[in-house]
Structure 1
Amino acid sequence: MEYAIDPEHTYASFEIDHLGFSTQRGQFNRSSGSLEFDPEARSGKVDIRIDVASLDTGLAARDEVLRGADWFNAGDFPDLLFRSQRFVFEQDKLVAVEGTLVMLGVLKPLRLEISRFKCGLNLASRKRVCGADAQGSLRRSDFGLSNGLPFVGDEVRLRIQVEAYLP
C-alpha cells in the first residue's frame, strides 16, 4: 500500500555542535513524499523530499545565511532527498531504513535508526496511517558542506518524524 507523507505531521530536524559550547538545533518546516509498507513481506520503500527554503533555526538572520550559497544553497539545490533502498527488520519489528541522502547534488548512503514505527487507524481522521521516528548521523563535509569547520561541527544528527496516510 502506498501512503502519502503528511506535511502537517512530518518534520526533519537537525542538531550540530557550535564552537564546542552548545548544540544548535533547527528544522525544515515543509516536506513531502511517499511510503510503501508491506508488513507480511517485511519490506517497504520511502521517499522524502525536504524543502531547504523552509529551514528554521528560530533566528531569521541565521536562516537566511544558512539558505545562502555558502551553506545549503537553496537557490541551486532546493531539496534534500532521502530514498530508501532497504527496510531492516528484527523479527517483525522495523529497526532501520537504509538509503541514500542527496544534499547539494551529492549522493551518500544514510542509515536511519527507527525508534518508533506504527501503522493503524487514526481514530480522529478515520484514515489508515503509518508513523515513525527516525534518526541518523552524517558528516556534512561528505556533501561538500564544509563552511565553518572546525568551529561548527562536522557531525550532524538528523531526525525525521513522519506520518503518512492512505489517500
Structure 2
Amino acid sequence: MRRTTLLALLCLAGMPALAQDQAGPSTDPTQVKPGAYVLDPAHGKITWSLSHLGYSTYYGQITDVAAKATLDPKEPAKSRLTVTVGTDSVNGLNDKLNQHLKTPDFFDTAKFPTATFASTSVEPTSPTTARIVGDLTLKGITKQVALDATFNQAGISPVDKKYTVGFDGRLVLKRSEFGISGFLPILGDEVTLRLEGEFKAAE
C-alpha cells in the first residue's frame, strides 16, 4: 500500500512539467525553460537589404549562421547570445553579384571568412521584445551595435520533438563603418539585417 501511494505521489509531482510539455507552444516568454540553446542551422537566416541606386530596395540572404544562446526568463539581463557568420554564404540571388560580393569591394571573404557577434547586454523593451547590445566584428572591424529581438513562441517542435524557442530580430548598420564601401554612395550605406532563428535546447 505504501509503495503504491509513493508511486502515485511521484507521478503527481511530475505531472505539471509533463502537462507543460504537452500543452503546446507558449507565447509567454516568462515560461521559457532557462538554459543553453543552439541555433538550428536549417532555420537560422539573415536577410539583408539596402537601397539600389534609389530606385528599389535590394534583398539578399546570408545562410551560414551558427549561434548559441543562454536564456534566463526570470532575469533577462543575464541572457547571452553569440553568433558566427560564414561570409562566403552571402547571396544576392545572382551568380555574378555573388562573386562580386566576395571581393574586397564588399566582404573580402578570402581574407575575412567569418563575422562574429557577442552580446554585452540584454534589456527588455516590452513583455515580448528586447534590445540586445553587443560587439559586431565584420571585415576585421569591431563596433558596438544594437539588435532588436522579438520573442515568437517556445515549446516542443512538432517536427523534431525538441524544445524550441523562436525569435525574430532586426539590426540596422552603416556598411562603410565596417570597411564595406563598394559603390558608395549610389548603393545605400544603410543596411537592414532581418534575422530569424529557431533555437533548440542544448542536449
Bucket of the pairwise TM-score, normalised by the shorter protein: over 0.9
Matches of 1:97 and 1:18, distance apart in 2: 28
The one-letter amino acid paired with 2:186 is F
* TM score, norm. by length of structure 1: 0.94
Q: State the one-letter code of the partner of 1:109.
A: Q
| Of 127, 132, 146, the match for 2:167 | 132
Residue equivalent to 2:114: 79
Partner Cα distance (1:88, 1:31) in 2: 23
Residue aligning to 1:37? 71
Unpaired segments of 5 or more residues in structure 2?
1-34
Does 1:12 pair with 2:46? Answer: yes
RMSD between aligned alpha carbons? Answer: 1.4
SS of alignment partner, residue 147 of structure 1: coil
Structure 1's consecutive aligned runs of 4 or more residues displaced over 4 angstroms after TM superposition are none
Which residue of 136, 141, 145 maps to 2:180? 145
Bigger Rg, structure 1 or 2: 2
Distance 2:104 2:180 in 1: 10
Q: What is the correspondence of 1:1-167 to structure 2 with a 5 Å cutoff?
A: 1-42=35-76, 43-90=78-125, 92-166=127-201, 167=203
Residues of 2 paired with 1:59 and 1:27: CA distance? 11
Q: Is the Cα contact below 8 Å between 2:166 and 2:198 reproduced in 1?
A: yes
Shift of 1:70: 2.0
Question: 3-state SS of the aligned residue for 2:43?
Answer: coil
- In the aligned structure 2, how far is the partner of 1:122 from the partner of 1:164? 11
Q: Write the distance in 2 (CA, Å) between the matches of 1:21 and 1:144.
A: 24
Say which structure is richer in strand: 1
* 1:63 positional shift: 0.4
Task: State the distance in 1 between where 2:120 and 2:170 align.
Answer: 16
Using a 3 Å threshold, how does the CA distance of structure 1 residues 22 and 163 change in structure 2: closer, same or farther?
same
* Bigger helix fraction: 2
- Please state how far the C-alpha of 1:117 moved relative to its aligned partner: 3.8
How many residues were matched structurally? Answer: 167
Output the amino acid matched with 1:159.
R
CA–CA separation in structure 2 for the residues paired with 1:11 and 1:155: 19
**Structure 1 portions without partners, runs of 5+:** none
Contact 1:12 1:50 in 2 (8 A): no
Q: Percent identity?
A: 27
